[in-house]
Amino acid sequence: MKRSPRAALALALALLPALPLGGCVNDDVHLYEVTLRGEIQVPRGGPYSGHVHLELRHARSGEGGLAYPLRRITTIELDGVGPFEETFLVPTDEGEGLVAYAWLDRDGDGLLCAPGTSDELAGLREVDGFPAHALEVTILLEHPCAGAEILYAP
């Protein structure tokens, strides 16, 4: 539909008072450095091979009816299961709490359980103690094909 030029002009004039007079406002992003140390474990007997995808998420974000869990902060790839130590920058204005979620990419396709695959394991743990600059977590990968959402109870 095309609006007539006169109608568009009238609408523009009617809305002119709504123009912000102060220009743009750029929000600061507040980042909090966290060094996370811990271990990715699998059940006794493996599987052990494959890279591990480790995601750091906020436990809670939003307010009221728009509150939700597990806002993603970042994802990194580890060489495999076992001990790790990584440093993250956590945006403190976007949520509260920290959750670590990981899964083992056994076939190396970058996908947790592509169609027809059912033997890739995932695990999730809430990271206690945030905010603090040094935190520890151990994640046991024991749930086949599980997304973070089904492993976390807000």
Residue 13: CB minimum distance to other proteins, A: 9
> Out of 12, 21, 24, 25, which residue is the one contacting other proteins (CB under 8 A)?
12
What mask of x and - would describe binding to other proteins in positions 93 to 132, judged by CB under 8 A? Answer: ------------------xxxxx-----------------
Is the Cβ of residue 55 or residue 86 nearer to other proteins in the bound state?
Answer: 55
* DSSP letter for each residue of the chain: ----HHHHHHHHHHHGGGS-SS---PPP--EEEEEEEEEEE--TT----SEEEEEEEEEEES-GGG-EE--EEEEEEESSSEEEEEEEEEETTS-EEEEEEEEEETTSSSSSS-TT----EEEEEEETT-S-SEEEEEEE--EET--HHHH---
Radius of gyration of the CA atoms of the chain, in A: 22
Binder of other proteins out of 4, 5, 6, 15 (CB under 8 A): 15
141 makes contact with other proteins (CB under 8 A): no
For other proteins, the binding residue among 85, 93, 119, 149 (CB under 8 A) is 149
Separation between Cα atoms, residue 105 and residue 88, nearest integer Å: 22
What's the min distance (Å) between Cβ of 72 and other proteins?
A: 8
Which listed residue (68, 128, 134, 138) binds other proteins by CB under 8 A?
A: 68
**Residue 154 engages other proteins in binding (rule: CB under 8 A):** yes
Residues in touch with other proteins (CB under 8 A)? 1, 8, 11-12, 15-16, 18-19, 61-62, 65-71, 111-115, 145-147, 149-150, 153-154
